[in-house]
Structure 1
Amino acid sequence: MSSDSTASDVTIDDRIAAMACPVDRTILDPAVQDDPWDFYNELHAQCPVFPMPEIGGVMVTKYEDVRFVLTRPDLFSNSGRAGGAKKGLQVDNARRYREILRLRGWPHVETLQRCDPPEHTAYRRLVGKAFLPRQIKAIAPQIEEISTELIDGLIGAGHCEFNLDYAMPLPGIVIAEQLGLDRSEIHRFNRWAHAMLALSMRPLTEAELLETAEVELEAQHHLAAVFEQRRAEPSDDLISTLVHAHEGEDNAEQLTVAELQNLMHQLITGGFETTTSALNHGMWLLTRRPDVQDRLRSDLSLIPAFIEEMLRFESPVQGLVRTATQDVEVSGVVIPEGSIVMVRYAAANRDEAVFDRAADFDLDRETTKHLAFGAGPHFCVGAALARQELTTAFTHWIERTSSIELARPFEGAVHEPSFILFPMKELPLRFTLA
């Protein structure tokens, strides 16, 4: 079949089902999501382009292949308009969810990470102003103050539930203040973030779908009121910047409320979920590697290397999806036009062809070209902020403790089920003061 034919879902499925692969597990299994590393190794060795007929697509796992997909938006679109099937990604639930938002709030329009150049370029230019290196340098003292305040409230007890007591509040407060939202409501915003991501995390029941929609509607109407307030009374925050972005620009149109909602959706979820996961995994790693703790305490200059290796080793974003815009050959496999392409960053970061002893955490690793923040035009806009938050956090915890360990063993799965992220359920710690 030629790439310019109109292919039905069945035809795509048939072509994907015909791809030979002896691996009989799937990333859609919550047990595999919780501990995916052996599965990724199997795919690297036996079928790096893994057929997934259940979603009408494939999963790409090798480093060079993942980088190829990410850097070719002409071949692998980030836009829903590319027409992928997305059957296994709750397409019926997603349609119903979108309809609820359309009727009672604002629809999910395509902005920033959900569109391709040249539209993506304009949105990124607007949002990126808040995440330039000079902007991150300017707010570094603020991040230091927030971290110190949080640790001051925990350190005397000698124990904490790190996920809720520190890993969520630190980036949550930072992004709330950058956006111009009330930092005292971060638990409410965290609930919004969970709801906004729910459809991409796991299958939802009817009741869960309706409950999740209500939470996002709450977020939308709250934010819409903030947009109106900032239109009348601009302030020095990112919401004001976006609301007034068209002013002073030739032929620039004011962002619609739907566009603003979608940008907030991405900034809130990115600000809470991914950095929280990185903080949790980094601290969990330190409990497993007291030798690394000792090295960091003896030489704080190793903390940036620790962060980069941690991001490679247990990537907070396990993978995202694209849609093939035409038949494309990857590692000898022809990916059909219109099929979903699950781009697995975490698998790429464990590729032995690029990272020697990839399954080992190596503080002295020379290669730091991991894909935890992606690559190409959709490289994470908040990467510099995340790195600053991680650097501040681990510096403070290493400086103020002499040991950090798990307070108790985990019971059952360590991670919440998720198609795309790697969220820990909890992280109970105990520590001694320095």
Structure 2
Amino acid sequence: MTTSDTAALHDPDTYTRGVPFGLIEQLRARGPVHWVDEPELRGLPRGSGYHLVLDHALVTEVVRDAATFSSALGGTQIHDPATPRDLAYVRRMMLNMDPPEHTRLRKLIAASFTPRAVRALEERIAGHAKGIVDRMLAGPRECDFAKDVAADLPLLTLADILGVPTEDRWLMFDWSNRVIGFLDADYASSASFDPGQGTSLAQEAVSLRPSPDASGRMPDPRGRDGMPDLYRYAHLLGDAKRAAPGDDVMSILLAQREEDGDRLSVEEFENMFWLFAVAGNETLRNGLPGAMIALLTNPEAMRALREDPSLIPTAVDELLRWWTPVMTFRRTASRDTSLGGTAVRSGDKVVVSYLAANRDPAVFDHPDELLIDRKPNNHRVFGHGPHVCVGAHFARVQMALLFREVLTRTSDIQLAGEPAYLRSNFQRGVKRLPIAWTA
């Protein structure tokens, strides 16, 4: 296997032109695990390299076995944190924890999504989806589906979950852009939120928003120093909720006491807020326009869902599988082991490709086709094992309700320009998706 065979999969520039599925299948034919070098690239320092796992069964094995493949040893992003201090910091996030620390926080979150809270959220999501499509149809017969429609639904839903005032929700848009799009010039210094339209909490937080340095670069958003505005807002919001709890999930979480009487610490709340505000936003924010691209590419599927909306809930999983918003996740081997006949040494980086796993022909018949009635659909869009996405249910609900509104209230949707894709080897992002419709 030559370096050039895998270089394109590592290079973030590749994904601005679309996913090289042909290359993935060529590599799969040669084996399930491949070594990938990490040369210095624009915005990315040189790294030690990693094992890329393409096979669905092996991806599942890696993400289930936290004892062998750790989220904490090196974090879950391909490139290593810049300093030991940065690594210690990211380990305080649940995303970068292993059991039992991860298990403790996960239980607290699960207990906060009470049946009553879930029902209330589902009702609000339905109202948000209707309101967004009302606004879409009231305007010109063209829009940017990615920002004008898809971006707002997860923001409104997260505002409900976190208890963030609605007028502050676009702060999360900027935060997500800066973290997920730190390699993309359009997103790295995102500052679209107008503090004059927000609360006093937002105004105080935005005063700490970092600016590009003389070379035009922003501080690393994975470290606390790179997101001071997010953490200030989280701290202020946590204080407000402790003083006057609401009926949102985060208020419930803050009020919980563990068996030993301890509560979630301020630092844990701030990192939990980061996880929801950023990671909880991006998967669906890119999954929604990705699903629209899937339907525009497969007009017969769009027609079938419009004629029979009862098919939408099943179709949601297939739309997500076909697009796969989160392409990769990293683990670090805690011991010498083997994957698919490849020797893996303790300390090696192991990167699972959800993108490749979700097109594995050993699991999915006609994997490149969009089959809206596909059952079973054992995809890995939301991960698997201990770190399976806590928000998977709400992501499915949001997608189903939004597409029900969009498809039943239009008779035709077409591309009105070329989509623009995010420069990232992590998130399969859609920056712009111009569409035109007939109501």
- One of 18, 25, 33 as aligned partner of 1:49: 33
Distance 1:84 1:141, change over 3 A: closer
Paired residue for 2:79, among 80, 85, 89?
89
Corresponding letter in the other structure for 1:293 = M
Q: Give the C-alpha shift of residue 218 in structure 1.
A: 0.9
State yes or no: 1:28 paired with 2:39.
Answer: no
Cα distance in 2 for residues equivalent to 1:170 and 1:20: 43
1:178 to 161, 181, 203: 161
| Equivalence for 1:233 | 244
Q: Distance in 1 between matches of 2:346 and 2:248?
A: 42
State the AA in 2 paired with 1:328: T
For 1:314, which of 319, 323, 326 is the aligned residue? 323
Q: Which amino acid aligns with 2:79?
A: L
Q: Do the aligned partners of residues 48 and 200 (structure 1) sit closer, same or farther apart at CA in structure 2, a change above 3 Å counting?
A: farther
Partner of 2:194: none
Q: Counterparts of 1:22 and 1:83 in 2: how far apart (Å)?
A: 26
Matched, 1:165 2:157: no
Task: List per-residue Cα deviations over 1:297-340 (Å, max 9, x = no partner).
Answer: 22111112221111111101111111111112111101111011
Q: In structure 1, what is the equivalent of residue 98 of structure 2?
A: 116
Q: CA deviation at 1:20?
A: 7.3
Q: Alignment partner for residue 244 of structure 1, among 255, 259, 263? A: 255
Aligned pair count reads: 399
Question: Are 1:168 and 1:276, in contact at CA under 8 Å, matched by a contact in 2?
Answer: yes
Structure 2 residue identity aligned to 1:431 = W
| Secondary structure of residue in 2 paired with 1:120 | helix
Distance in structure 1 (CA, Å) of the matches to 2:133 and 2:259: 47
Structure 1: unaligned runs, 5 residues or longer: 1-18
Q: Look up the equivalent residue of 2:421 and give its one-letter code.
A: H
Kept in 1, the 8 Å contact 2:312–2:404? The answer is yes
- Alignment partner of 1:408 is 2:390: no
1:279 corresponds to? 288
TM-score by length of 2: 0.84
**Post-superposition shift, 1:132?**
6.1
CA shift at 1:253, angstroms? 2.4
Compute the displacement of 1:214 (Å).
Answer: 6.7
Q: Structure 2: how far apart are the matches of 1:200 and 1:114?
A: 21
47-56 or 291-300, which moves further after superposition? 47-56
2:180 to 197, 202, 206: 197
> 2:69 maps to which residue?
76
Match of 1:427 among 415, 418, 433: 433
> Deviations 1:242-279 (Å, cap 9, x if unpaired)?
32223xx3314232222111111111112321111111
Q: Which position in structure 1 is the counterpart of 2:127?
A: 145
**Partner of 2:55 in structure 1?**
62
Distance 1:133 1:388 in 2: 15
Q: TM-score, normalised by structure 1?
A: 0.85
SS state of the match for residue 26, structure 1? helix
Q: Which residue is equivalent to 1:335?
A: 344
Aligned partners of 1:252, 1:27: CA distance in 2, in Å? 48
Q: Higher mean Cα deviation, 287-296 or 360-369?
A: 360-369
Aligned residues of 1:179 and 1:237 also touching (Cα < 8 A): yes
Residues 1:191 and 1:252: Cα distance change in structure 2 (over 3 Å): same
Residues 193-224 of structure 1: per-residue CA shift (max 9 Å, x gap): 22233558899896423385776101111211
Correspondence for 1:224: 235
Matched-pair contact (CA < 8 Å) for 1:85–1:339: no
Give the stretch that moved more between structures: 151-160 or 249-258. 249-258
- Structure 1 contact 111–123 (Cα < 8 Å) conserved: no
Partners of 1:235 and 1:134 in 2: CA distance: 13
Structure 2: how far apart are the matches of 1:360 and 1:376?
27
Cα 1:150–1:364 shift into 2, 3 Å: closer
Q: Which moved more, 1:34-43 or 1:340-349?
A: 34-43
Alignment partner for residue 344 of structure 1, among 345, 353, 373? 353
Q: CA deviation at 1:48?
A: 2.1
Preserved contact between residue 411 and residue 438 of structure 2 (Cα < 8 Å) = yes
Displacement of 1:95? 6.0
Alpha carbons of 1:135 and 1:236: their partners in 2 closer, same or farther (altered >3 Å)? closer
- SS at 1:209 equivalent: coil
How far apart, CA to CA, are the structure 2 residues paired with 1:182 and 1:409? 34
For the 8 Å contact 2:321–2:381, the answer to whether it is kept is yes
Shift of 1:159: 1.6
Aligned 8 A contact 1:23 1:46 in 2 = no
CA contact under 8 A between 1:131 and 1:381: conserved in structure 2?
no
Q: How has the CA–CA distance of structure 1 residues 275 and 85 changed in structure 2, closer, same or farther, with 3 Å as cutoff?
A: closer
Determine the C-alpha separation between the residues in 2 that align with 1:286 and 1:163: 14
Q: Distance in 2 between matches of 1:287 and 1:256?
A: 46
- Provide the rounded CA distance (Å) in 2 between the counterparts of 1:53 and 1:172: 36
Q: Percent identity?
A: 29
- For 2:93, the aligned partner's letter is T
Judged with a 3 Å threshold, the aligned counterparts in structure 2 of structure 1 residues 416 and 340 are, in CA distance, closer, same or farther, namely same
Give how far 1:172 is off: 0.5
Q: 1:62 to 1:348 in 2, by over 3 A?
A: same
SS in 1 for 2:411: strand
1:39 CA drift (Å): 2.3
Higher percent of residues as helix: 1
